[in-house]
Structure 1
């Protein structure tokens, strides 16, 4: 069973095409920290609104449980849910644990296959005004006990985090150019 979970996780994470990445901050057999950052030509309030209200428009559909990003939602309150609901099929991806609107949203839990492996983590979306736009940083630290070496996953997890941040950044760039 353990091998099946490991193979499923590698397949899930491997579907991401290469994207620019800021890098792996640290990694060990039982955990890791990754951080990706992009600048967008929209103000922090607009960027925040897109994160929360438009997640189904920018999140990569192939990184959902049922292939339809429009089923995603983020509740911007402590105890809120980053959820995917498709009728009776439902996933609570992460719990919102900290909200400073327009600046920081912190969620806890394990994304994707990490959830099924019993691992937990903290994920932060950070928004900082920078040069007529916003610097968005996606930071994720996860870990816990697993008989598998998490270090094997980290480069692909970093790539997927870059893809997810890239989805939001591309969406906001189009919005900033008036293309939405």
Structure 2
């Protein structure tokens, strides 16, 4: 009985681990945001969902064409985090660094930042979590020239990225996908 209870406690604890979100810094020229979630799967399973199943967990309301969209990540240097909807296409980011099960780094401007001519470095960092599972950190540093004060964008980007990471975490928390 104790083994059954212990087996149920870890997944429950991991599901209840509060996410952390933070604007790390923000100036008129750029900002850094970081969000973290802990999930009850190992790094290999988290990696597979991150790169192979992005279309199943990325919030469609944070894509160019919503439910019509197909999202994909080609996890190789020079690969693409892309979205297609028929003939419509978008390259959200370019993959620049891949260390399977540990780090995926992409560069580019997400959403409206792309159209503003801004760029950034986004990393998904996977590490063992205390007590089991995997801690996933979504780190994004963006900047560039714009007549707008980018520090005002930081809280909004932080909130949106928390939603995106939560989409992955919630997907990984579901039993037997």
What is aligned with 1:3? none
Q: In the TM superposition, what is the alpha-carbon distance from 1:22 to its structure 2 partner?
A: 2.0
For 1:96 and 1:120, locate their aligned partners in 2 and report how far apart those are by CA, in whole Å. 13
What is aligned with 2:140? 140
What is aligned with 1:96? 95
2:42/2:128 contact within 8 Å kept: yes
What is aligned with 1:28? 27
The two structures, once aligned, show a CA RMSD in angstroms of 1.3
Which aligned pairs between 1:69-148 and structure 2 lie closer than 5 A?
A: 71-130=70-129, 131-148=131-148
What is aligned with 2:65? 66
For 1:68 and 1:128, locate their aligned partners in 2 and report how far apart those are by CA, in whole Å. 32
**Highest RCO, 1 vs 2 (Cα 8 Å, sep ≥ 6):** 1
Gap regions ≥5 residues in structure 1: 1-18
For 1:161 and 1:23, locate their aligned partners in 2 and report how far apart those are by CA, in whole Å. 10
For 2:58 and 2:21, locate their aligned partners in 1 and report how far apart those are by CA, in whole Å. 19
How many matched pairs?
A: 159
Q: In the TM superposition, what is the alpha-carbon distance from 1:21 to its structure 2 partner?
A: 4.0
Q: In the TM superposition, what is the alpha-carbon distance from 1:151 to its structure 2 partner?
A: 1.1
TM (norm. structure 1) is 0.85
Secondary structure of the residue aligned to 2:101 is coil
Gap regions ≥5 residues in structure 2: 1-17
For 1:133 and 1:95, locate their aligned partners in 2 and report how far apart those are by CA, in whole Å. 28
Which protein is bigger by CA-based radius of gyration?
A: 2
TM (norm. structure 2) is 0.87
Once the two structures are superposed, residues 116-173 of structure 1 have per-residue CA deviations (whole angstroms, 9 ceiling, x without a partner) of 0000000000000122200000000000000011111111110001000000000000
For 1:88 and 1:115, locate their aligned partners in 2 and report how far apart those are by CA, in whole Å. 20
Q: In the TM superposition, what is the alpha-carbon distance from 1:48 to its structure 2 partner?
A: 0.3
